[in-house]
Structure 1
Amino acid sequence: MIEEARIHPDPDAAVQRELGHLFGVIRALHHGRYASVYLARDVESRATVALKTIVRLRFLEPANATRFRRQAAAAARLDHPHIVSVHRHGVSPSFLWYSMDYCPGGPLSTVQPMAVIECVTAVQHIANALDYAHRSGTVHADLRPFNVLGDESGLIRVSDFGILRALGGVAALKTVQYPPGALDYIAPEQLVKDGVPGPAADQYALGVLTYEYLAGLPVFGATSAEDLVARRRTGSLPDVTAFRPDVPSPMAGAVRRALSEAPGDRFASVAEFAAALTGPTGPVVLWPAEATSDDDDAPSPVLRPRGRHWSIMGVVPALFLVAAASLWFAFSTTSRLPTGRPETGLVPAAPPEQPSIDVTRAPAAAAGRLPAPRPLPSAQVVVSSVPWAELYVDGRLVGNTPVVGLRLPPGRHRLRLVQLGFQPHEEVVNLAPGQTLKITRIVLQQETAP
């Protein structure tokens, strides 16, 4: 119970006393009832990190310390752009602690409803992280808004993989009081005795997040494990379109399926769930014809529904009319141009005298040799897809998505994403010098059976 927890009246002082030789705390980012997060500087590496401390609960000792070390080590092995990397971890007299990447964007809010396309992008990023972890043998088991963070590059990243299991799983859930809604993300199978969460439990939690990103409301608002079970038994899940009529029906149906009571009734994977959010045809990803920015805030590719492209039958006549008007204007203007000497009698001015060339300062130019042009700065490309895929650029394999910080020379490039069982996705991009282009909204479509 809460009385058995080693909770300090001044947790900041306890952190300084027990971890001050490892981290220099800059400021507190979050104080919860059982956990705190600090912005800190690692004394050894001098890196700026987020330091998370979790109060050691006596009713879970000593097994939780051993589980925590094992799970934190597994989380540290996860290496993915959409996962917050764990750097160091340990156990002190009062805390379980670990340091991780600092994400200045903070947690994604579920209070204000997201635009549909914004929600799809966020869920794709989260699904990429979960899919990678599942294929690596790791289940998150505690996905919720506080664990979904935004970093400085605009990517959405997931933190705290497996920490709930390290703290006792269901035992911790049934012993600790939570604020309303905090338990809504726990899958039904996690609340049964000796329930071991699998990838389907993470899909359920992602379904709850998707619902709340769209509706801006909690699904159940439960305050304890018993309350959550009772609410699920007595109440049916309201359709998200009741709060957001603009949500497409395929998306609403995908959310309902991800929130199925039985794991077998959900999608086969989180990647399949993310792909189903856009329906059978999926979105169309459009790149600008010309690069528009050379900074990191360049707009991402936009999604447009299929069927809203201009028809070529309408464009060709319009182009013909424009060309005809241009020719008429050119010929009519040429017929009025003066010939011979100007009627004013003025003599055209002589061309300006060319400045002399200082051969001592510019020997190459004086000899007719122009200096070599400065190389143009390369462009950077970020590519993410659901599910992950092999990325080919101009026919050359460069890696698996998500790919971050890919440097390409300015100009035209052909991108191709390939994944077994899915239709290849191919696009052409035109990159300007120094441009950063973020392509993070690609959903591969499954191949249809012959």
Structure 2
Amino acid sequence: MRIHGSRSAPAVIALALATSLSLASCGGGGERPNTDVGKGTGPVADPASPQTVTFFSWVGNEPQMKKMAAEFHDKHPNITIKFENAPAEQAQQVLSTRIAGNTAPDVAYINASDTNDYAARGALVDLGGYMSRSQVVKPDDYVDGFKTFVTWNGKMWGLPFDGETTGLFYRTDRFKEAGLAGPPKTWEEFKAAAAKLTDAANGKYGFEMFASEAAYYFYPWLYQAGGETLTQDGKDVAFDSAAGKTAAAFYVDLAKYAPRDYFNSNSYDGRVAFAKGDVAMYVAGAWFAGTLADEYPKITGKWAAAPLPDGAAGCKTTIAGDSLVMFNKTKVSDAAWLWMEFLSQPDNLAAWTYKTEGTLLPPTKALLGSDDLAKEKPVLKPFADLMACGVASAAPNPKYPRIETVLNEELSKAIYGEQTPAEALDNAATQGRAILARG
């Protein structure tokens, strides 16, 4: 599920969970994808007559996207890109409604974690045929975590386009005041630092938590403890394992070091507490670095980023991203592919991600490890390095978004102290297994 990093304001997880729920239950399922689309030999040729490719997204008004569309049209004069825009927080619902009404666009920019759900409902084109003919798009070029998002039943149904990893932001000034030499590297150090940085009587806290985003920010701890969301075959809930309960106990206990007033907030709105110095540690994606630099330049030099502390399973972190997909109702699939392929050129991926004022990461190994990224956007280097530890929260079952909604609700109750962490996982697992059992 894509939570943060959108070119507009980051999406609130509560909205994302709700729209994922409606997405999973809306119509459009059961269709068989056209497996012949993209088959052939040699590079895809331009159309002989004018064609229009509809492109759905919440980024169509971005200057860089408009610039790339103009450059594309110059190279492919018979293809016009028609932007169809929706607000980021409404995009999933709008697109799902269009799929159900058989009015899907040709291409869309979507939350990468939604790709397998659309694919499972037969709404997308298997891109294998096109990729086999491309000199630009090669599956092995993509970071494994990003590729996981767009893979279903062993096939790629989307092209990773941008993303981020989740890391630790910390106030270096608050750490210095508390006598802490640097960021915590283990769970034990993290909890000890959170306690030392907390002075609730004076409105100072070590950490910030958001009950409305409980599931998403639980996942790094789950993976670090050696747990998983679902079993490998995707047929059963796995987060209620012993490892999962260890992670939940640690995660929920951090609430005592967090300002309760922000529990019902979200991680975008909650940025204010970190900016003011009321909170010393903040777990977020790379988007947060850009937000701090843009909105709070006065605290530059008073914060830094670091990897999340290691758990029993070592270095693990969540990743999120966006992908490009082609819908199987398209009548201009070759032209649509040429647009997707153009956007996937290395210079365009760089221009869209780290060579802008934002802090998105490119999805390819070559760009992530490049000297150019470190030079152009040094603040992104720790997050690029974290990609080796990235785990894609794309559970192998299209019903998982509904389970995640339940998990979020139950963990939220635990954060508020209404039940124990173990009870939260048990309750979520019981409801999750009922969801999996339904047809």
TM-score (norm 1): 0.21
Q: Point out the structure with the larger helix share.
A: 2
Which structure has the greater CA radius of gyration? 1
TM-score (norm 2): 0.21
Q: Point out the structure with the larger strand share.
A: 1
